[in-house]
Amino acid sequence: MKKKNPFIKFLPLAGALAMLSTVIFPWGCANTTTPPTGGPKDTIPPVIRKLSPLPGAVNVPVHKTRLEFTFNEYVVVKDMKAIFLSPPLEKAPRHKIKGKTLVVFFESDLAENTTYTLDLTGAVADNNEGNMFPGFTLVFSTGPRIDSMMVTGTVQDCNTLLPVKGATVMFYKDASDSAVFLSRPVAAAKTDDWGFFSIRNIQDTVYRVYAIKDENGDNMYQPDNERIAFLDSTFRPSVVVNDSLPELMKYDMKDTALCLARHSELELNLFREKPSKQMIVKKERVGDRTAYLTFMAPNTKINSMRIKGLPKEKLISQFNLQKDSLELWVNDQRKMPDTLFLLLNYDKTDTLGKLVPTDETVKLARDKKAKAAAAKSSRRDMKHEDTTCVITTVAEGETIEQYGFTLEFKYPVIEAAFDSLQFRSVNPRQQEKKGAYTVTRDSTNLRKYTVMPKEQLLPGYEYFLKIPYRKFRDINGFYNDSTELKVSLPNDEKLSTMTLKLSGVKNRYIIDLLTEKRDKVIRSFIVDSDGPVVFPYLKAGSYCIRFIEDLSRNGMVDTGNLLERRQPEKVKFYKLDDQFLIKIPERAEIEQDVDMEVLFK
């Protein structure tokens, strides 16, 4: 375990130890990292020697307010956005450096009778070596008293449950949901590397709580391009500020033990809402007969479409799963003009915010660079795949039993002889046998097919899928080459198996086996009844297991809606020995009982 850094409770005490100062300020958060000594290189972070106003000051003027932080050495501001005032003003704080003093000032007056906090965490470094100042929170009031309550919590991504750094947590006294769109909060804080936040010195009252990924820094929610989280019910703080609490201390973000030991009262899951407006936001001609459209909102409703000058049956189209991206292909082998005109009627948002059927002509022009390159090229420069029906084939021993052989065509096929495919097996004695198979087209990708053997696959056998020559023809008029794919079940004795024995399954769930970083799905299952879920052929290492409550039964995580007070569909990660990372050793057969009712309670 990493050695813990000693914690100095109060900043002025740190100043006293370093600079023989004798002033003690009880209203600030301390610099908690004791610097190492010795060595030729300066590794000591800056230390504050003097503050104005003093921490806990009251009746601070609201007009032309200046906050001054005098350090023991020359400093620079590394991140202007890290100088954060709560409650925030319309414009972010400004600053200037005068000698060893950082001066923070504001373009507008502060509010009267209000407790403010100014946080410097992650903002300041020394001028020479760039040693970061661990941070300090100055508390002061423009009225006669300092508010005394505090709240802690964590902001995480709704899909991965990983912490979100730099999210803005916002507290409102206004209980209406429109407040987060129209006004700034009465208290706010930024999350650290661990998604953790503490909002200190706030009033003892009832709040609505939100978190946003504030892309434009205005401390208000912009639904079309920002993510949001919200607490289901109102919240009233119950903890009184105490500077000795670990939740208010400034830690090295690399000190995992100390950071994770902090108590988090609230948990907020950040999600992206469906945009409120529907329109085309992007279009591109990506090939002679290929283009795509991107819409602002999902679930696009298209009433009719065709390419000008061509029969409508010549146009092939396909939406993605969210129905916010549309691929287009022209099934016509004649030379296509440099510009295609797509005549489209779809439900578009009008000036009153309503969806109405709208005619729109979309100009799909070839890229000028691609056009110029094509003009310079000759038939001698063309590659074989430029005149071939290209098929990408995939089969992996670890997943062949679940996913079979995958065939994906570069372009839609207009002639397909799937009955010509040849599936065969070779046993350990080198005896060959033909086998039967089924072919299924992917429901979300019309160019993708799964070829699944009907027989049970066995260890030690080799399996072959051959695609004969000229059995498939795409929209360009090109035929395929012959190819053969070989696969065997893994026979490495070091591989392990993990079995989850599910009980209490009352809904439909998506179960994903993820990599350690949660950035890739290795295997995925959909279940709606009790029983075993088996993850075979696992290499030794760390994995995560994600459970998604798929109430809509659409195979993905549905997002939330703020105005409808609807959270995104629930996501949980399985814990083994109280750890989200499941460590799989070599040659192991692990069985775990999972009560889904308890997990999603």
| Per-residue pLDDT reduced to its tens digit, 414-429 | 999 999 999 999 999 9
Q: Whole-number mean pLDDT of the chain?
A: 91
369 has a pLDDT exceeding 80: no
Q: How much is the pLDDT for 1?
A: 40
The angle subtended at Cα 9 by Cα 7 and Cα 13, nearest 5°, is: 110
| Per-residue pLDDT reduced to its tens digit, 118-175 | 999 999 999 988 999 999 999 999 999 999 999 999 999 999 999 999 999 999 999 9
The pair of three-digit structure tokens given for residue 516, joined into one six-digit string: 């350690």
Residue 128: count of CB within 10 angstroms of its CB: 12
| Amino acid (1-letter code) at residue 69 | F
The pair of three-digit structure tokens given for residue 60, joined into one six-digit string: 């601070």
Q: Read off the pTM.
A: 0.81
Residue range 280-373, CATH number: 2.60.40
20 has a pLDDT exceeding 70: no
CATH class belonging to 385-488: mainly beta
| Whether the Cβ atoms of residue 400 and residue 423 lie closer than 8 Å to each other | no
Provide the total of helices (H) and of strands (E) in the chain, helices listed first.
6, 42
Give residue limits of the domains in the chain: 11-270, 280-373, 385-488, 496-599
Residue 534: count of CB within 10 angstroms of its CB: 14
Same fold, 11-270 and 496-599: yes
| Per-residue pLDDT reduced to its tens digit, 188-210 | 999 999 999 999 999 999 999 99
Quick one: fold of 11-270?
Immunoglobulin-like (2.60.40)
Coil, strand or helix at 41: coil
Is 496-599 a domain of CATH 2.60.40.10? Answer: yes
Which DSSP category does 260 fall into? H
Contacts of 112 (CB under 8 A, 6+ apart): 62, 142, 143
Bond prior to 88 in cis (omega within 30° of 0)? no
382 has a pLDDT exceeding 90: no
Q: How much is the pLDDT for 24?
A: 36
| Per-residue pLDDT reduced to its tens digit, 73-115 | 999 999 999 999 999 999 999 999 999 999 999 999 999 999 9
